[in-house]
Amino acid sequence: MCGLEWGRLYETYHKNAYSPVKVWARVKELYADECVRNRRGIFEYVLGGEREPRLLDLRVFESRETKAVYAKQTAAAEAKGVSNCPLCAIGHAANATRIWKFAEMDADHVTAWSKGGATTLDNCQMLCKMHNRAKGNR
Ligand SMILES: [Zn+2]
């Protein structure tokens, strides 16, 4: 907790009504979350109504992880004769059977972090860039 800019935080947030118990509980929860890389941002994130996850510098999938997911997902898709983008695969467009290259895809949290999804392999899927952008809310 030391080194935080308490003055600025106070100026910005003191007009809001908070339950100190709830704030502390949430702060403690986020301290324990391994996806949070910038713990100094936790207080401000909570005080600000949890609208700016960038304050937390959340862990993103590393390239070795996304490559592993890509390889597994692509092998399964090829075996089924469908696109390796799960959202393309359930569509009816020409891309339904398209195998995207690794560079044409992005890693996606199946369950968004903001909804409790962790940055772990079992919560990672590769989506084509178009679908990843369309999904948003990471
Ligand atoms: Zn797609």
pLDDT digits (tens, 9 = 90+) for 72-116: 999 999 999 999 999 999 998 889 999 999 999 999 999 988 888
Cβ atoms of residues 123 and 66 within 8 Å = no
Compute the distance from residue 92 Cα to the ligand 1 centre, in Å: 11
CA dist 47 and 70 (Å) reads 37
CA dist 134 and 123 (Å) reads 18
This prediction has a pTM of 0.74
Compute the distance from residue 126 Cα to the ligand 1 centre, in Å: 9
pLDDT-derived band at 1 (thresholds 50, 70, 90) equals low
Compute the distance from residue 130 Cα to the ligand 1 centre, in Å: 6
Cβ atoms of residues 107 and 124 within 8 Å = yes
Average pLDDT over residues 41-68: 93
Sign of CA dihedral 48, 53, 55, 58: positive
